[in-house]
Structure 1
Amino acid sequence: MDAQTPKAEVPADQRPARPGLIVLLMVMSAIGPVSLNILVPATPGLAVLFDTKVETVQLTLSLYLFGLAVSQLVLGPLSDRFGRKPVLLAGLFITAAASTAAMFSTSIGMLILFRSLQALGASSGLVIGRAIIRDLYTRDRAAAMIGLVTTVMVLAPMAAPLIGGILDTHFGWEYTFALTGAMAALVLAWVFLALPETRPDHITGGGVRYIVSESRELLSDRRFLGYMLVAAIGTATFFAFLGGGPHVVVSIMARTSAEFGVWFIATSVGFMLGNFITSRSSQRYGVDRLIAIGLVLLVIGSVATVATVAAFPDGGPWTVFVPQLAISLGNGIFLPNCVAGAVSVRPKAAGTASGITGFVQMATGAVAAQAMSHIVATASTAMPLAVAMVVLSGAAALAFYVFLSRARR
């Protein structure tokens, strides 16, 4: 048996939970991505509405990602200390309240503030959902379950830009927040009534000293660093696309926000397919091998983006969205395996590991999204976006080689 997965870690009474519990994990994990993506098509219009720069409106995305990052760093260890359920309930309440308040924003500053608060709670489903899965399953099986949960949960984020574009076009941007607030409130009630506490009894935490100690142990582990960095840098390709894609499609290519939402479905289909492959293959091939396969697809898709944009500079949205299929497929394969690897390095600190990994991933994504919004603001084609994909995918592959491939040898 794997030295990182002792037998005592998964007792018989913690074997696969009821199907209803898995469905709940899917829904609560989807709140963060839905809240992130549903406002994206409306961002160009918000710049006109609030008479401000595109880069300023982009803070509704980048600071949301930063909020996701910071809150995961806190919520993961708190769930180790106080239990998964109470921390999750508090996070969902914050999301519902902030979403409702955001609807009544009268300035871009107010919108950015409530959007940031929305993110503080929305991350609870992501980080605690991963810890719950690790509470219930061994490492390779956890990768399969994370892939399974994400396969179904990604259906909501896949439709979120389309729904957001339709709501923005026909009713107004406020209704995107009405929808996310209602979703958070419903899941809050569901968690309260149906979610059991899964934190093992031997995980009790110990306040700040415990968090610092476990964080130090994790960050000194070469393999944890590898899983964390590959997840963060690799998924930065997606966040860079979120930061630059709407401006490229809506402003440069003169298409509607609803059309961007339709094209975005292709990206989500690739990610969902990658998650499905992981759910069926991780126990057979192992975490590290699937990470390598995902990274190969990521590099291929990034290079293909540069090639199509160079060959067809006025070709329309397909020049960036068709190669994005390979990029999102690669993301869907390597990300669940990176997360499963990271939270399995020290199983007794699964919440802390999930929080640190989520923090670094979202912080990197926030920087990538904001930087890309500045870069494409003065661009006349999609080439800057395409080049950024190549740089990020190459950096992710290098992190895998240095921290995981060489470590194994």
Structure 2
Amino acid sequence: MPMRSPPPLPGVSEPLRAPPRRPPVLALIAISALSPFAINVVVPSMPAIEQAFDADYSRVQLILSMFLAAIAISQIFVGPLSDRFGRRPILLIGFTIFVAASLLAPFAPTIEALIGIRVIQGAAGCVGIALGRAIVRDLFDRSQAASMLGYVTMGLAMAPMVAPTIGGLLQESLGWTAIFWLMAALGGLCLLVTWRLIPETNFRRTAALSLRSLFADFGQLLRRRDFLLFTGSSSLTTGVFFTFLGGAPYVAERILGLRPSVYGLWFALLPLGYALGSFLAARFTERFGVSRMILAGSSLALLAVATLLVLSLAGFSGPAALFVPMGVAGMANGLALPSAVSGAVSVRPEIAGAASGLSGAAQIGMGAILSAVGGAALAASSSALPMFVIMTVAAVLALFVALAIGRRNQPRGA
């Protein structure tokens, strides 16, 4: 289907350009997958990093939670910058900085230095996942964008699926520094993909960029109840996953006694489930609507984490009891997230970059907070029960938000 450039809007500059060329889906998957891969690939090495720097686990866990916080904060600015200057230049700059930070990481002299480098990695590498969504919204309306994001996230799920396995194998064979050399290479690949395959898609540039205009755009979004609901849904759904991500290495090694490579293989159930859920979202969102897909995903997520909680209380603690329900939770995320993200960035299409940035910041920010809380709760406990309780609370709240979205959109048949 030929793509058409959206019509100009009041107050938005419209350079005379040809209609945007549609980038290959695989290119969007590649740039969007870098940050999720960088999050997960380092997780199996966290106990080894703890030993290498003689640091306690709560400090080492900051290489995960601070990475997530950097993604959250950076997206606030990345989106509006791309609204003003275009998607492509911001992608190129971000990936260049990511590569530089990855090359520095193996030479970090202290755990604090490594945490700082991870902050730079997260802030720069988030351009792919933030602007991948905005590029999709540049080219599609809300329902089509949700379906397209389903296909993109289905492929994107492959990155976190293989990341812990690759990280575990590299850790056992070459040590934790090899993981950062790999990230530098993958960042370079994303830089090349952007340069060769991703054209500019934002032809409705905002006329000016200032803190005043930035916060004015955010104010418009935050006054829209539908934006708040869609963002709340994506944030809480993501929060369930990142609570698990923050504590899973501790549970796997200290409680279950799994090697990093074995942990990586079990962890593959999560993104495999996510890929299945994203495939179903891509196939059925236009038929059933975004609100029903969000409700289905949120309901399934609550069922999965409630199963985790019940199994833990019943004394079941093997890897299957931990990872199989989380695979179902991954599928739930795949069902709900494309529609929630598409809904958030479609509220005001002319500032889709700002919407993507603010929604993404809330989403990853919630993940960072719950990841840190989950890790801290585990450090003070001899079981995984505190982590499961936090995940269940987040899932319950996500279901309430999904019900509110359904009530709000039902009159319009969403």
Q: Same fold (TM over 0.5)?
A: yes
Residues 225 and 403 in structure 1, CA contact (< 8 A), matched pair in contact too: no
Bigger mean CA offset, 42-51 vs 85-94: 42-51
Partner of 2:250: 247
Residues 144 and 283 in structure 1, CA contact (< 8 A), matched pair in contact too: yes
Partner of 1:328: 330
Partner of 1:258: 261
Q: Partner of 2:204: helix, strand, or coil?
A: coil
Q: Please give the TM-score of this superposition, normalised by the length of structure 1.
A: 0.94
| Residue 76 (structure 1) aligned to one of 76, 79, 87 | 79
| Residue 142 (structure 1) aligned to one of 140, 145, 148 | 145
Bigger mean CA offset, 244-253 vs 315-324: 315-324
Partner of 1:52: 55
| Residue 379 (structure 1) aligned to one of 354, 378, 381 | 381
User: 2-side partners of 1:73 and 1:157: how far apart?
Assistant: 24
Change (3 A) 1:29 1:97: same
Matches within 5 A, 1:199-214: 199-201=202-204, 203-214=206-217
Residues 89 and 192 in structure 1, CA contact (< 8 A), matched pair in contact too: yes
Aligned-residue offset at 1:318: 1.2
User: 1-side partners of 2:257 and 2:347: how far apart?
Assistant: 48
Q: Partner of 1:103: helix, strand, or coil?
A: helix
Partner of 1:309: 312
Partner of 2:241: 238
User: 2-side partners of 1:58 and 1:340: how far apart?
Assistant: 31
Aligned-residue offset at 1:319: 1.2
Aligned-residue offset at 1:326: 1.8
Aligned-residue offset at 1:17: 2.2
Task: Say whether 1:227 aligns with 2:230.
Answer: yes
Change (3 A) 1:15 1:148: farther
Partner of 2:392: 390
Name the aligned partner's letter for residue 340 of structure 2. Answer: C
User: 2-side partners of 1:310 and 1:213: how far apart?
Assistant: 48
Name the aligned partner's letter for residue 197 of structure 2. Answer: A
Q: Partner of 1:199: helix, strand, or coil?
A: coil
Bigger mean CA offset, 397-406 vs 251-260: 397-406
Aligned-residue offset at 1:400: 2.6
Q: Partner of 2:268: helix, strand, or coil?
A: helix
User: 2-side partners of 1:171 and 1:7: how far apart?
Assistant: 50
Deviations 1:82-126 (A, max 9, x none): 000001111001100001100111211111011111111110001
Partner of 2:156: 153
Aligned-residue offset at 1:247: 0.4
| Residue 364 (structure 1) aligned to one of 359, 363, 366 | 366
User: 1-side partners of 2:82 and 2:392: how far apart?
Assistant: 37
Partner of 2:35: 32
Bigger mean CA offset, 232-241 vs 392-401: 392-401
Deviations 1:297-326 (A, max 9, x none): 01110111112222234x311111111122
Task: Say whether 1:285 aligns with 2:288.
Answer: yes
Deviations 1:35-91 (A, max 9, x none): 100000111121122111100000000000000001111100000010000011110
Name the aligned partner's letter for residue 362 of structure 2. Answer: V
Bigger mean CA offset, 345-354 vs 41-50: 41-50
User: 2-side partners of 1:132 and 1:375: how far apart?
Assistant: 38
User: What is the percent sequence identity of the aligned residues?
Assistant: 36
User: 1-side partners of 2:208 and 2:374: how far apart?
Assistant: 39
Deviations 1:213-248 (A, max 9, x none): 211110000000000011001110100001111101
Residues 290 and 340 in structure 2, CA contact (< 8 A), matched pair in contact too: yes
Residues 222 and 403 in structure 1, CA contact (< 8 A), matched pair in contact too: no
| Residue 339 (structure 2) aligned to one of 312, 316, 337 | 337
Task: Say whether 1:100 aligns with 2:103.
Answer: yes
